[in-house]
A and B are shown apart, each in its own frame.
Chain A
Amino acid sequence: GESVGLHLPTLSVQEGDNSIINCAYSNSASDYFIWYKQESGKGPQFIIDIRSNMDKRQGQRVTVLLNKTVKHLSLQIAATQPGDSAVYFCAENMGGGFKTIFGAGTRLFVKA
């Protein structure tokens, strides 16, 4: 079936610590994965993406890891800041980019 899910619905971290948000996907045919950040009352905002021919990609303070063997995706946020508090969704692309399936979301709380 088509499903992308998250292991932890909420994550609370101390400011300055690193955060890791995990995601499991089920469709082996998906070839493109994205992490989105959603703040209250706003639309999803692109954070970082990775294609299936890669296992790691780094951005500014964020790293995405892809393990195709176990169909697992993770988002690492370095030196988490209060502004990182939001809901984070993983998503997978299928159908040649015409269909994007979102996971359930993890709420990240950053304690000052």
Chain B
Amino acid sequence: EPEVTQTPSHQVTQMGQEVILRCVPISNHLYFYWYRQILGQKVEFLVSFYNNEISEKSEIFDDQFSVERPDGSNFTLKIRSTKLEDSAMYFCASRGQPTDTQYFGPGTRLTVL
């Protein structure tokens, strides 16, 4: 069964450093998402991406965040200058059509020291 994959599984970085989280969505999907989940809290929407542009973004997704689909398979989330409060699990998701089920990846745990 196809699945969303994410790398790395755990990323440790120093405050102020840039990080790039990588996702490989399911191959025939067209809609891509990033979410984050701070430990013990709910899953929070960050951004959706379709047709090579951002469709929606939340107030969390400020100028420090960017997304990119650099090729036909990867979908990345970049945080330019990480802050302590960026420490969280980051989940990528994809879907084929906007009304279809979203499939989530296993997440990347980001730890900012």
Question: Which listed residue (B56, B91, B103, B104) contacts A98, Cβ 8 A?
Answer: B56
Task: Kindly list chain A residues whose C-beta atoms are within 8 Å of the C-beta of B50.
Answer: 98
Q: Is B111 an interface residue (CB 8 A)?
A: no
Number of A positions contacting B (CB below 8 A): 25
Q: Is B27 an interface residue (CB 8 A)?
A: no
Please, could you name 19 A-B residue pairs with CB atoms under 8 Å apart, sorted by A?
A36-B104, A38-B43, A42-B106, A43-B4, A43-B104, A43-B107, A44-B104, A49-B101, A89-B42, A91-B43, A93-B99, A96-B98, A97-B31, A98-B31, A98-B55, A98-B56, A100-B33, A102-B44, A102-B45
Interface residues of B (CB under 8 A from A): 4, 31, 33, 35, 41-45, 48, 50, 55-56, 58, 91, 93, 95, 97-99, 101-107
